[in-house]
Amino acid sequence: MTETTPAAPPPLRHRRTGEAAPTEDFVTPTLRNGGGTWSGLPPLLLRLHFYAGVLIGPFLLVAAVTGLLYTATPQIESVVYDHELRVTPRGEQKPLASQVDAAREAIPGGELVSVTKGAGDDDTTRVTFDVKGLPEGYTQTAFVDPYDAQVQGTLRTFGEWLPVRSWFDSLHRTLHLGEFGRNYSEIAASWLWVEVLGGLALWLGAPRGRKRLRKWFVPRRGPKGRGRTLSWHGAVGLWVSAGFLALSATGLTWSAHAGVNIGKIQDSLGGASPSVSSALGRGAQGGGSAGAASGQSSVAPSAAKVDLDEAVRIAGSQGLRGKLVISPPADDKSAYIVKENTRHWPEEQDSVAIDPATGEVTDTVVFDDFPVLAKLTRWGIDAHMGLLFGLANQIVLAVIALALIGMLFWGYRMWWLRRPTRAGGTRLGRPPVRGAWRRVPGRVMAPLVVVTAVLAYYLPLFGLPLVCFLLADLALAHARRHRRSHTEPQAKMSKEVAR
């Protein structure tokens, strides 16, 4: 008797388009893997990836769009505020004290915060005042022509950001909703890394057969459909995953809730950023507070012999160069603080404290001596804001933002293509199969729960949405069981009547 090989079953096809179902799906490894310690994880990852993508996706989309707009602000500011920022070099510059006097006339009643001397001969001098009535964190800045001490204009500033950049910065961070709005950006940052790592595990873990690397990195060509959409979603995500993870990590460092916890961890590891001390008579080794001078009044000590220009000269003798920010003494027990403010590569962030009576340098902090964690934090934040590598940094951020927008579009499209098309069916795609957590062995699930709980503690806006996902999932399951308990008896009665 001749043994025959059974014919392979025909491929599954989409009921509406007739397209063959993709053989390389995120679900595939979960169906083919018959056992093993990690066999239950892919379905669990898939369900979490799905829910987070659907429900956190809008937060990520807003963050990507507002971040994309923010990347163009340096060029916009250079055009909009060219008159305030640039002058024509000519002759000798006026003393900084004369420039401050001119700024005081333009902003009467303000309390001097700092004087910023530009790095170039064509830069104006920024004289910044704390003015009553401004929102928290905002100041009023006069832009003075250093060659004739004439005020070119005054603008409301947020740190060193001018109005255009501060508006887009606030849009990206808070949607102009104040402290409450910071929750949106923290949710996005808290879940972006989860989506990325989960997606990478699913994409790289799916069986590929031959030409594995090509299928990982190169999107599939061919007819439109869920298979090609999935290929673009996975391949582009793999290419840009490092950028996504970097934005998530740096975004969390200055978030409202997680940022505090991260700061505590960094401090406990000895990675806090040191700051120069303004206190006279006890030179702190990087442990003082430069803010003691930078946010106070400009009342100079009666015995002061060092003016602003002399403070700049002394700072220059200590190796400080480029854009310098000078904070005047707060009282007769405080020093000048002079800081470098060059935030592109290589960063120049040295600072010194200078006794206004003697000109003695009482404290010094050098960026090269920062702890590694503090340097990484500074570099990461400046890269996140597009400052570290100038225009190239901005272009990379724009590409990452566009990639994230594309990832979200492809993700929602796959969900749409999964929807049933029969009359009376739901309009939305079905989620992955429930109960995936039951397939995970206890020796894997136990440490997974512990790690998740720790992360939820330190990243509360990761933990709270996760709890909401679980509750919503349970509620949907209960509603589905309740619906079946009513529909199944009715279906049986209909069959009996038909007989």
Report the candidate in 272, 276, 274 with the shortest Cα–Cα distance to residue 327. Answer: 276
pLDDT at 40: 72
pLDDT at 221: 81
pLDDT at 435: 64
Instruction: Give the CATH number, domain containing residue 151.
Output: 3.10.450
pLDDT at 312: 97
Is 127 a member of any domain? yes
* CB hemisphere CA count around 283 (13 angstroms): 11
Is 138 a member of any domain? yes
The three state secondary structure string of the chain is CCCCCCCCCCCCECCCCCCECCCCCCCHHHHHCCCCCCCCHHHHHHHHHHHHHHHHHHHHHHHHHHHHHHCCHHHHHHHHCHHHHECCCCCCCCCHHHHHHHHHHHCCCCEEEEEEECCCCCECEEEEEECCCCCCCEEEEEEEECCCCEEEEEEEEECCECHHHHHHHHHHHHCCCHHHHHHHHHHHHHHHHHHHHHHHHHHHHCCCCCCHHHHHHCCCCCCCCHHHHHHHHHHHHHHHHHHHHHHHHHHHHCCCCHHHHHHHHHHHCCCCCCECCCECCCCCCCECCCHHHHCCCCCCCCCCCCCHHHHHHHHHHCCCCCCEEEECCCCCCECEEEEECECCCCCECCEEEECCCCCCEEEEECHHHCCHHHHHHHHHHHHHCCCCCHHHHHHHHHHHHHHHHHHHHHHHHHHHHCCCCCCCCCCCCCCCCCCHHHHCCHHHHHHHHHHHHHHHHHCHHHHHHHHHHHHHHHHHHHHHHHHHHHHHHHHHHHHHHHC
Q: Look up tokens 């397209």; give the residue.
A: 19
Bond before 11 cis per omega within 30 degrees? no
Is 60 a member of any domain? no
Structure tokens at 163: 């109005």
pLDDT at 315: 97
Last residue of a domain, one of 369, 388, 414: 369
Please say if the pLDDT value at position 299 is more than 60.
no
Q: What would the mean pLDDT of 395-404 be, rounded to a whole number? A: 98
Question: pLDDT of 198-252, one tens digit each?
Answer: 999 999 987 766 677 788 999 988 778 888 999 999 999 999 999 999 999 999 9
Last residue of a domain, one of 146, 161, 176: 161
Is 449 a member of any domain? no
Last residue of a domain, one of 369, 391, 422: 369
Contact by Cβ (8 Å): 64, 453: no
pTM higher than the cut 0.85: no
Average pLDDT, the chain: 85
- Alpha carbon distances (Å) from 99 to 60, 294, 340, 356, 429: 45, 18, 20, 19, 65
pLDDT at 429: 60
Q: How far is CA 268 from the centre of its chain?
A: 23
Domain count, the chain: 2
Please say if the pLDDT value at position 431 is more than 70.
no
Is 365 a member of any domain? yes
Report the C-alpha gap between 390 and 99 in whole angstroms: 30
Please say if the pLDDT value at position 382 is more than 80.
yes
Q: What would the mean pLDDT of 359-387 be, rounded to a whole number? A: 96
Please say if the pLDDT value at position 433 is more than 70.
no
pLDDT at 352: 98
Tally of CB atoms within 10 A around 119: 14
Is 494 a member of any domain? no
Is 319 a member of any domain? yes
Domain, as residue range, for 149: 82-161
Report the candidate in 320, 357, 358 with the shortest Cα–Cα distance to residue 119. Answer: 320
Report the C-alpha gap between 117 and 158 in whole angstroms: 18
Is 374 a member of any domain? no
Q: What would the mean pLDDT of 151-173 be, rounded to a whole number? A: 96
